[in-house]
């Protein structure tokens, strides 16, 4: 996982120690020795996560965090406070300032890396939603009210806890901020989470004959609960469980004995983040789908591609990550319309789009470019991987006949493919498209039903 991490600490030895640990995991590292410099770096550079010391002269970590979270341009960056302070009141103050987590000095290497990777996974999701919301704004489709939503409704929280007395204490602590449904049967709780509109699941690890991480894993594997925040309650010294939980996608954890104020603060942080991402998702769906979706195939259209490709290209440059693009064209499509009519041609286009959708990966962007041409944008994808995706799609098109709905006629269809990949010399997204288009024409001239990659 490649990302850029900002380490902020006024003691050089602490900075060097964290920097060495992060560089060993192949992260890019920026450093600052005071709060003002940290804020300036966040304003001018791409930062994916901040490790922030609290005790600094001048502007302390609490104030830095508050300023970051008050700035809409950088408020989405996860902040982990790294501090010698270990009192619950300090953690609560930091969480209220907007911090996503705490690491206590001396920092445990395993917890540091696992927590960083967990928060970066969550940020990747938010980044994609924000990128799509930016595309909507660029298209003039967004009304700018992302921040609005259900802010007054009482959150619904599901507590999965094996002990009645523990359930009572947690319900009592959360009563001022949430409606809590408590269950002791983990499998019944999984069904309840999938069927009800919860905004947070709290899983207590106090079961005697059940592995709580199994429930966490199942929550992440189900489509209906994939984006539902999960908070794990663990024992002191349960580092192995914490690391494994974060790897499985658990959003946060709290260690027993539970401080009620810290529990409330962590729950509110997770609920707030979920509501923000839900609003982003809803905004994107409502403002983009009709305007930038091809009505026939259900894929994104040329209008959406032109805007979102620019965002993905810029992100690829900023993060020094690879990016590939392919254009595919149905071979001799005009003959289908001429021989069977335009309704048959539409059926072929719809089925072709379905096979495109089934062949590409979740992070890829598939669009109908126009007529019988389709474009697939592949972020974080090297040329050889893009070629493998193209070959998988080429085989999916060639190997199974297209069946016309009314006549049952089986049509054998093939497609040609052109691939381009971003190089250091690539001027912009338009050139990336042009290179793929030239490669497509080379594939057509080479006999069709083949793949050609643009020269580097």
Domain shared by 382 and 274, yes or no: no
Q: Give the pLDDT band (50/70/90) at residue 289.
A: low
**Model confidence over 34-71: pLDDT tens digits?**
999 999 999 999 999 999 999 998 899 999 999 999 99
Instruction: Tell me what pLDDT residue 93 has.
Output: 86
Domain shared by 24 and 101, yes or no: yes
Would the pLDDT of 353 be above 70?
yes
426 belongs to a structural domain: yes
15 belongs to a structural domain: yes
Domain containing residue 212: CATH number: 3.40.50.2300
Domain shared by 89 and 9, yes or no: yes
135 belongs to a structural domain: no
Contact 7, 30 (CB under 8 A): yes
Percent of the chain with pLDDT over 70: 93
Instruction: Tell me what pLDDT residue 287 has.
Output: 63
**Model confidence over 303-319: pLDDT tens digits?**
889 989 999 999 999 99
Task: Describe the strand order of the beta sheet including 49-53 as a list of residue ranges.
Answer: 28-32, 4-8, 49-53, 79-83, 101-104
Residue 49 bridge partners (DSSP) = 5
Q: What is the number of domains present in the chain? A: 3
**Model confidence over 67-108: pLDDT tens digits?**
999 998 898 899 999 887 767 778 788 888 888 888 878 888
Q: What CA–CA distance (Å, rounded) separates 232 from 207?
A: 12
Q: What is the DSSP letter of 213?
A: H
Give me the chain's average pLDDT, please: 89
Would the pLDDT of 247 be above 90?
no
Would the pLDDT of 203 be above 50?
yes
**Model confidence over 120-165: pLDDT tens digits?**
887 887 787 777 667 666 766 555 444 444 556 899 999 999 999 9
**CA dihedral sign, ordered 53, 59, 62, 67:** negative
From 44, 77, 107, the end of a domain falls on 107
205 belongs to a structural domain: yes
Q: What is the DSSP letter of 300?
A: B
262 belongs to a structural domain: yes
Radius of gyration of the chain measured on its C-alpha atoms: 25
Lowest model confidence (mean pLDDT) among 255-269, 301-315, 321-335, 398-412: 255-269
Domain shared by 236 and 262, yes or no: yes
Domain shared by 412 and 301, yes or no: yes
For the chain, the 3-state helix, strand and coil shares in percent, each to the nearest 5, are 50, 20, 30
Q: What CA–CA distance (Å, rounded) separates 25 from 11?
A: 22
Annotated active-site residue in 25, 63, 372, 373: 372
Q: Do β-strands 415-421 and 323-330 pair in parallel, antiparallel, or remain unpaired?
A: antiparallel
Instruction: Tell me what pLDDT residue 222 has.
Output: 92
Instruction: Tell me what pLDDT residue 320 has.
Output: 92
Alpha helical stretches, state H, 331-407 = 333-340, 342-359, 383-399
- Candidates 372, 370, 297; CA nearest to 335 is 372
Domain containing residue 425: CATH number: 3.30.70.270
Domain shared by 79 and 177, yes or no: no
Domain shared by 184 and 103, yes or no: no
From 252, 287, 322, the end of a domain falls on 287
Domain shared by 271 and 303, yes or no: no
Instruction: Tell me what pLDDT residue 148 has.
Output: 46
Domain shared by 381 and 433, yes or no: yes
Q: Which residues of 417-434 are buried (b: 16+ CB within 10 A; e: fewer)?
A: bbbbbbeeebeebebbbe
From 287, 304, 322, the end of a domain falls on 287
Lowest model confidence (mean pLDDT) among 145-149, 279-283, 428-432: 145-149
Q: What CA–CA distance (Å, rounded) separates 124 from 379?
A: 12
Length of the chain counted residue by residue = 456
20 belongs to a structural domain: yes
Return the axis-axis angle of helices 302-319 and 109-138, rounded to nearest 10°. Answer: 150
* Residue 351 designated active-site: no
Domain shared by 266 and 330, yes or no: no
Taking residues 175-203, report their average pLDDT.
94
Domain shared by 270 and 301, yes or no: no
**Model confidence over 435-448: pLDDT tens digits?**
999 999 999 999 99
Coil, helix or strand for 41? helix
181 belongs to a structural domain: yes
271 belongs to a structural domain: yes
Domain shared by 332 and 219, yes or no: no
Domain that holds residue 319: 293-453
Instruction: Tell me what pLDDT residue 147 has.
Output: 47
Determine phi and psi for 359, rounding to 5 degrees.
-95, -25
pTM above 0.85, yes or no: no
């Amino acid at each position: 996982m490649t990302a850029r991490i900002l380490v902020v600490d006024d003691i050089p030895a602490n900075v060097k120690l964290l920097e060495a640990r992060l560089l060993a995991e192949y992260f890019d590292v920026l450093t600052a020795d005071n709060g003002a410099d940290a804020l300036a770096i966040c304003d001018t550079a791409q930062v994916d996560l901040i490790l922030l010391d609290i005790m600094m002269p001048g502007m302390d970590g609490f104030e830095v965090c508050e300023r970051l979270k008050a700035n809409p341009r950088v408020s989405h960056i996860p902040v982990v406070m790294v501090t010698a302070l270990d009192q619950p009141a300090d953690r609560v103050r930091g969480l209220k300032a907007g911090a996503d987590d705490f690491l206590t000095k001396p920092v445990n290497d395993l917890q540091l890396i696992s927590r960083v990777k967990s928060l970066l996974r969550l940020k990747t999701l938010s980044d994609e939603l924000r990128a799509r919301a930016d595309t909507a704004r660029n298209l003039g489709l967004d009304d700018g009210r992302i921040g609005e939503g259900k802010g007054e409704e009482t959150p619904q929280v599901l507590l999965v806890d094996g002990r009645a007395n523990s359930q009572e204490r947690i319900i009592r602590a959360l009563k001022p901020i949430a409606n809590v449904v408590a269950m002791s049967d983990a499998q019944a709780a999984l069904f309840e989470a999938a069927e009800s509109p919860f905004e947070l699941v709290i899983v207590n690890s106090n079961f005697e004959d059940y592995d709580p991480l199994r429930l966490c894993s199942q929550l992440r594997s189900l489509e209906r609960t994939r984006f539902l925040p999960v908070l794990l309650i663990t024992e002191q010294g349960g580092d192995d469980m914490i690391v494994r939980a974060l790897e499985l996608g658990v959003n946060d954890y709290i260690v027993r004995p539970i401080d009620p104020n810290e529990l409330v603060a962590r729950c509110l942080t997770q609920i707030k983040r979920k509501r923000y991402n839900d609003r982003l998702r809803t905004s994107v769906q409502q403002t983009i789908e009709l305007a930038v979706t091809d009505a026939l195939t259900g894929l994104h259209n040329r209008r959406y591609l032109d805007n979102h490709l620019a965002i993905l290209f810029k992100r690829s440059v900023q993060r020094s990550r690879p990016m590939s693009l392919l254009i595919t064209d149905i071979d001799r499509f005009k003959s289908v319309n001429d021989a069977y009519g335009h309704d048959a041609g539409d059926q072929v286009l719809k089925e072709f789009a379905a096979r495109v959708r089934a062949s590409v990966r979740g992070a890829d962007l598939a669009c109908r470019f126009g007529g019988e041409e389709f474009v697939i944008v592949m972020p974080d994808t090297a040329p050889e991987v893009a070629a493998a995706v193209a070959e998988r799609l080429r085989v999916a098109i060639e190997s199974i006949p297209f069946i016309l709905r009314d006549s049952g006629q089986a049509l054998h269809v093939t497609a040609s493919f052109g691939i381009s990949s971003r190089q250091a010399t690539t001027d912009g997204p338009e050139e990336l498209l042009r290179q793929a288009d030239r490669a497509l024409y080379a594939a057509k001239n080479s006999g069709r039903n083949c793949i050609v990659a643009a020269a580097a």
